[in-house]
Amino acid sequence: MLAIDGGEPVTNKPFPTSMLGPAAIGEEEVEAVAAVVRSQRIFRFLDHENSHCTRLERLFQELTGCPHALAVGGGTAALICGLVGLGVGDGDEVIVPGYTYIASASAILICGAVPVISEIDESLTMDPDGIEHLITPRTKALMPVHMRGIPCDMDRLAAVARKHNLLVIEDCAQACGGLYRGQRLGSFGDVGCFSLQQFKVITAGEGGMVVTHRREVFERAAIRHDSAMCFWNPDDTSTGPFPGENFRLNEMEGALGCVQFGRLESILGRTRALYKRIHAAIADCPGIQPHRTNDPEGDCGITVAMLLESGPRAKWFAEALRAEGIPAGSMYNQGIPDRHIFRFWEYVMEKRSSDKHGRPWTSPLHDQSRTYDPNMCPRTLDILGRTVTISLSQTYEDQHADYIIEAIHKVASASSN
Ligand SMILES: Cc1ncc(COP(=O)(O)O)c(C=O)c1O
């Protein structure tokens, strides 16, 4: 009998944390941060060559094969700098999937552009077939988001971008270390943006990284990230000065990020092994459609997702798994305002802004007839409504994977009531 109906659960033991980078923090991180504090050199530009932030940038250059990397204070800051790097601004539209953290849309608005929301497909990432009808003369860029470590279909997205002469900014906040067809995420687009916040594969507490193949994109991003950047090495840049912010990373974050970077492959090695073990065992499970990833080898393996036949069945399935002792969730519950789902991006849906004149929405350069609606991407809502997820962490033993497998089979073979 199912545990939800009063039977014995698959396991009574609580799972370890599903955190990734933070759960790997050990003495090395403590020492690295303490050494920075002891040194009293906590600002990155005191000694550029020996800076931990510079070291972290080099590690991301090596990881992605991009010749330019800029450490910034967060993933949102990385997106803002990346968009500014590409010259995105007033009057431009950027296509963003309806399933991503609200920060992706926020970054677009902060740059003076407006987000145009596209559908996702069963991979939970931007649907390459759902873009072309959204393209207008204002469309400047696509923002594919590798959600939950799942690589977007970069071949087909790049083809759409090429055909319509659009720029590509990859949001890799949740997919550090992921690949698509053997190539690192972040290196496909004109610019790639990472986050090092608490919930990410590796963490610096807060932090982000912009990577690009293009020198002028890097220069513009760097100028935006520091209000005085363009005056420090004026000979170093062909880009004229313009106003910047303070999006600098500090040395404590840089040092923490470097130690965590050293753990990236071992974290992903473990999550990918768990993911493959579970996927192989549930491939033929009746009544569920295991998640279709765009690249099973390159996927970070941090999410097991299953598509059920209906929303109510997904909700029940997640509850039944939880009763069996498995930390599962359904992705879209009407009652829970999840800011990863477009309909809960209130300031987009209602076109709100901090500006008393309502910019950028009210800019004469924007299409004033553009509207947003909580039901505008029905396919995205349908897919998310039918999806059940289980997050994976390197903290899980094989035994936890086996509990997950056993519980999925047990629940799938029972009919909902
Ligand atoms: C997909 C996505 N984009 C952007 C961000 C923003 O990153 P941060 O919180 O570091 O600003 C996040 C995470 O928070 C995210 O998950």
Query: Distance between CA 33 and CA 10 in Å, rounded?
Result: 41
Q: Are 189 and 245 within one domain?
A: yes
The residue type at 146: H
Q: Are 119 and 200 within one domain?
A: yes
pLDDT at 417 over 50: no
DSSP reduced 3-state for 171: strand
Q: For 388-404, write each residue's pLDDT tens digit.
A: 999 999 999 999 999 99
C-beta of residue 99 within 8 angstroms of C-beta of residue 78: no
Query: Distance between CA 307 and CA 142 in Å, rounded?
Result: 26
DSSP 5: G
Query: Distance between CA 191 and CA 294 in Å, rounded?
Result: 20
The token pair at 32 is: 């690295």
Please indicate whether residue 149, judged by its CB atom, sits closer than 6 Å to ligand 1.
Answer: no
- Asked whether residue 16 is domain-assigned, the answer is no
Q: Are 271 and 343 within one domain?
A: no
Write the CATH number for 77. Answer: 3.40.640.10
Query: Distance between CA 401 and CA 100 in Å, rounded?
Result: 27
Q: Are 230 and 320 within one domain?
A: no
pLDDT at 329 over 80: yes
Instruction: Report the number of distinct structural domains present in the chain.
Output: 2
Which residue reads 């598509």 in tokens? 307
pLDDT at 237 over 90: no
> What separation in Å is there between the alpha carbon of 233 and the centre of ligand 1?
30
Q: For 332-382, write each residue's pLDDT tens digit.
A: 876 678 999 999 999 999 999 999 999 999 999 999 999 999 999 999 999
Please indicate whether residue 103, judged by its CB atom, sits closer than 6 Å to ligand 1.
Answer: yes
Please indicate whether residue 208, judged by its CB atom, sits closer than 6 Å to ligand 1.
Answer: yes
Confidence of residue 149 (pLDDT cuts 50, 70, 90): very high
> What separation in Å is there between the alpha carbon of 285 and the centre of ligand 1?
33
C-beta of residue 400 within 8 angstroms of C-beta of residue 275: no
- Asked whether residue 101 is domain-assigned, the answer is yes
pLDDT at 70 over 80: yes
Write the CATH number for 295. Answer: 3.90.1150.10
- Asked whether residue 313 is domain-assigned, the answer is yes
- Asked whether residue 160 is domain-assigned, the answer is yes
Please indicate whether residue 173, judged by its CB atom, sits closer than 6 Å to ligand 1.
Answer: yes
> What separation in Å is there between the alpha carbon of 110 and the centre of ligand 1?
15
Average pLDDT in the 20-32 region? 98
The token pair at 332 is: 């879209």
Domain with 321 in it: 3-9+264-335+380-412
> What separation in Å is there between the alpha carbon of 209 and the centre of ligand 1?
11
